[in-house]
Amino acid sequence: MTISGIEGRFSLVTIDRKNFINNFSRDVKSGLTSESKHLPFVYFYDHAGSQLFEKICGLPEYYLTRTETDILEANADDIVSLFTGETVLVELGSGSSTKTRILIEAFLERQRLAHYTPIDVSHKILEESAYSLLEAYPDLVINAIAARYNEGIDHLNILKEQQNLITWLGSSIGNFNRSEVTDFLRHLQKIMLPNDRFLVGIDLKKEKTILENAYNDTQGVTAEFNLNLLTHVNRELGGNFDVDKFFHKAIYNEEIGRIEMYLISHIDQKVFISELDLEVSFMADETIHTEHSFKYSPDDINALAEETGLYVEQQWFDTEQLFSLNLFAPAAD
């Protein structure tokens, strides 16, 4: 379905709602009946979850957004100068598109932006961010896609006469394990034309305390974000989770090189999810693994590119070497 608005400068393609609920039901049932309970991180991002994540991005402990913004502001002109013709700017997991404004402004100044295509699972956050951007930039055209990454990528109209800059900011790449990332980047590489580029923000391995503080903020916003996943299950699938009977914890697994985020049951309890006709038992201190965030070394980044038919054309870092911005190009056959 396509929804038009704002003088023809905005369109929004949304995935089928029934398909979303079917996937949500399947994933929740599978995750909560597994020996080690887990829920996919993608379901964090209902409207409330997306708003909470925007709050996380402004927290003093959450260095990722701050450092990536600094890198973009320092290098946006250099990045945009690599694109000499009409360019389509694509963003995976766009959220509020706050950081992307830096690139949008740089492209518009050079009159090289064909349109902006944000891809996000939340159609509401896409609408809100699009209207804000369209009001700020009268020459901007937005063709949004409400979908998961793979579905959104498959909806892209890759044209030979246009160059595409596909962006994946915020180190969202870290939410996927190595095999998942490899499969996704190989899929992306196959649809990229030789002049297309893929700009990826990747968090770097660093001291454990810095990492754990970033995901256990003192204001409790990350905890609220994590617990909202249970509220999402309650609303969409008729669950009766009492969020006060769970708490949030994030740890850095140094052996694997990733942050692991959990919801932990305070007590022995049972939860019923009516749409699944499913009762789930929890023991005190039993966990639900809700998210992981892999951290990379520069060698890890180069190895990932080589495995997926890409190469690192350029790379930028903040002054403290906490975070990296990587421009991937398709490798020659």
Helix or strand holding residue 200 (H, E): strand 197-203
Q: What is the pLDDT of residues 25-47, one digit of tens each?
A: 999 999 999 999 999 999 999 99
* 2 band by pLDDT with thresholds 50, 70 and 90: very low
Integer Cα distance of 228 and 221 in angstroms: 10
The answer to whether residue 333 scores a pLDDT higher than 70 is no
Would you state the pLDDT for residue 154? 85
The answer to whether residue 284 scores a pLDDT higher than 70 is yes
Q: What are phi and psi of 17, to 5 degrees?
A: -60, -40
Integer Cα distance of 205 and 151 in angstroms: 30
User: Of 296, 1, 328, which Cα lies nearest the Cα of 167?
Assistant: 328
> What is the SS3 assignment for 245?
helix
Q: What is the pLDDT of residues 260-269, one digit of tens each?
A: 999 999 999 9
- Looking at the DSSP assignment, which residues form a beta bridge with residue 270? 281
Mean pLDDT of the chain: 93
- Determine contact, residues 87/106, Cβ cutoff 8 Å: no
Q: What is the pLDDT of residues 221-235, one digit of tens each?
A: 999 999 999 999 999
Q: What is the pLDDT of residues 145-169, one digit of tens each?
A: 998 888 888 888 776 778 999 999 9
Kindly report the number of other CB atoms within 10 A of residue 283's CB atom: 9
The answer to whether residue 1 scores a pLDDT higher than 60 is no
The answer to whether residue 5 scores a pLDDT higher than 90 is no
Would you state the pLDDT for residue 151? 85
The answer to whether residue 325 scores a pLDDT higher than 60 is yes
Structure tokens at 279: 């009762």
Provide the H-helix boundaries in the chain. Answer: 17-32, 47-57, 63-81, 100-109, 123-136, 149-155, 178-191, 208-215, 221-237, 298-307
Query: Structural domains in the chain?
Result: 17-57+208-294 (no CATH), 64-206+297-330 (3.40.50.150)
% of the chain residues with pLDDT over 90: 84
Structure tokens at 327: 């421009």
DSSP state of 94: -
